[in-house]
Chains A and B, each alone.
Chain A
Amino acid sequence: MSELAIRIRGAVKRYGSITAVDGLDLDVPYGTCVGLLGPNGAGKSTTMKLLTAQAIADEGAIEVLGFELPGESKQARAQCGVSPQLDNLDVTLTVEQNLLVFAHLYRVGRHERQAAIERALEIANLRERRDSRVDKLSGGMRRRLLIARALVHRPRLLLLDEPTVGLDPQVRQELWALIDALRAEGTTILMSTHYIEEAQRLCDTVLIVSHGRAVAAGPPSELVAEHAGREAVEVYGPPDKLAETEVAARAAGLRTRRTGTSVSVLGTDSVDGDVPHGERRPANLEDVFVLLTGEQID
């Protein structure tokens, strides 16, 4: 019996001439939080749709909670909770009514329904707003409700598609706390995100996705050590100086990346010779992300 909540092998999904997912492999072991990290258009959302059979793969094998997709997807969906990227709450209904509808859709028994709703309200910290119409809620509250709605039937697997996209930093942190609490309880989570900090903080394992393919996978700290080294030097200056720094660093066999107004020279801890002058800082997941997915987003 598989110990994986999700197992994808060689999934391919094409839309006409565009290949959104191009031979993706993905493992999500039970009890872990795995992040799909990639730029917009990398195929994260399509991968999420494949897992609920709202898109059907052209090639490859997909297993969710031991069920083979797409044939057995309904059984898998019954035990999954999904929080979509685009808010699809019923806005003219109250918070509680939204949860009630989903308790029905996910077949929560009549006697457990009220308790399930109370628990979801508690998780989302929306007890006091239970009678508010959704269109009266703030953006952060709506996101919390979307996640709570996905939990009303105690799913074994939670799929979060860009859970904090478009939110203020404060609200984002509030949601991180919520997701972290779920994780601490042992909920298996797959989340897609293009926020590096989010993946670094919340995920046990991160899969970096680019052009529909996994380009690296592992715990965030290992990915950083493997691809970007321990330390980086950030050099600031006018464009000419930045270009010179790049050329010099590359000549010395070091990798660089542009950081907007500066150039980061990576892996400076492993060099014996000259290290460019600049601010030394620990390498981070963003360095890995940009190295592996390219500087320009196409």
Chain B
Amino acid sequence: MAAIEQRAPRLGRLERPALAGVLVREIINYSSYWRSATFSSTVEPTIYLLAFGFGFGSLVSKIGGYDYVQFVGTGTVATAVLFSSAFPAMFGTFVKYQFQRTYDAILAAPVDTEELVTAEALWMATRAGVYGCVPMLVAIAFGLDPRFSMLVVPLVAFLAGLGWACFGIAVAGFAKSIENFSYIVSAVLTPLFLVAGTFFPLDRLPHWARVLAELNPLHHCVELVRHAAFGWHATDPLRVGALVLFALIVWRVAIYAMQRKLVD
């Protein structure tokens, strides 16, 4: 028997071919469901934008010096990011390991849990980067002035999307059943979504609430997008830092949760 004498080089962590393999799977799959994904990720925030923008907008025309429609139009970018990252991450991840057993197939290939989670999060963050721009484009159609600094909005949406995608994967990793998601949606996502400065400015809130809001990653996303549209603030680099920190922490937590779930 001709045994193989030389060994393949030891394979490392976070290898590009492994990430690419998982991404290719997502991209090919996306070709079969892009319509519904695009619909839910863009239409819903746009409805919020139009409902609040014109509903409230008829009562309050200006807020913090901005037209209310423009205020909400920039704010709902964060909503679109949340809807196109955290929600697909929670449900998609759960379905893929529980019902479709896709992850069993992927982990039998030379792909580790760390690479699987990272590639999945990168993919959803990319989608969030694109879908996140939709409300702003709608706002531009309703009179928001385009500025060059708005070109960073896809990047902000990508960064925030990365964190929220990892958050969703971690939730799916810890959840015992898909019903458990309603706790997370009601107790975590809905409050964070409402108190992010999307629909009303937070500076009139009591001090403690404003401090808490600074811990809300969605709030940083809202502020960065708004400043990209209306002018940068000195504290913006700190907000970027907060989003990077959020993404890093939930990324490791998501890997831990999925490792526990997928490897016995």
Contacts and interface: CB of A to CB of B under 8 A. Distances in A.
Contact of B110 (A2, A46, A56, A74): A74
Nearest to B97: A88
Nearest to B5: A1
Contact of A74 (B1, B11, B263): B11
B82 to A, nearest CB: 26
Pick from B17, B33, B262 the residue with the most CB of A within 10 Å: B17
A9 to B, nearest CB: 19
B3 A105 contact: no
Contacts of A77: 108-110
A156 B3 CA distance: 11
Given A74-B11, A74-B112, A84-B108, A2 B263 contact: no
B118 to A, nearest CB: 15
A280 B17 CA distance: 60
B22 A88 contact: no
B94 to A, nearest CB: 15
Interface residues of B, number: 34
B170 interface: no
B25 interface: yes
A6 B18 CA distance: 24
B105 A52 contact: no
Interface in B46-76: none
Q: How large is the interface on A (under 10, 10 to 19, 20 to 34, 35 or more residues)?
A: 35 or more
A31 interface: yes
Contacts of B100: 88, 90-91
A184 B106 CA distance: 28
A107 B16 CA distance: 10
B108 A31 contact: no
Nearest to A29: B1
Pick from B1, B32, B101, B105 the residue with the most CB of A within 10 Å: B105
Contact of A82 (B20, B108, B262): B108
Interface in A77-94: 77-80, 82, 84, 86, 88, 90-93
Interface in B194-226: none
A88 B25 CA distance: 13
B29 interface: yes
Interface string B1-37: 1011101101100000110111011001100110000
B95 to A, nearest CB: 12
A221 interface: no
Contacts of A72: 10
Contacts of B10: 72, 75
Given A66-B3, A75-B10, A107-B21, 17 more contacts: A1-B4, A2-B3, A15-B264, A49-B264, A54-B107, A72-B10, A74-B112, A75-B11, A77-B110, A78-B109, A88-B100, A90-B29, A92-B32, A101-B25, A104-B24, A105-B18, A105-B21
**Interchain residue pairs A-B with the least CB separation, the first 5:** A105-B21, A88-B101, A78-B110, A55-B264, A82-B108
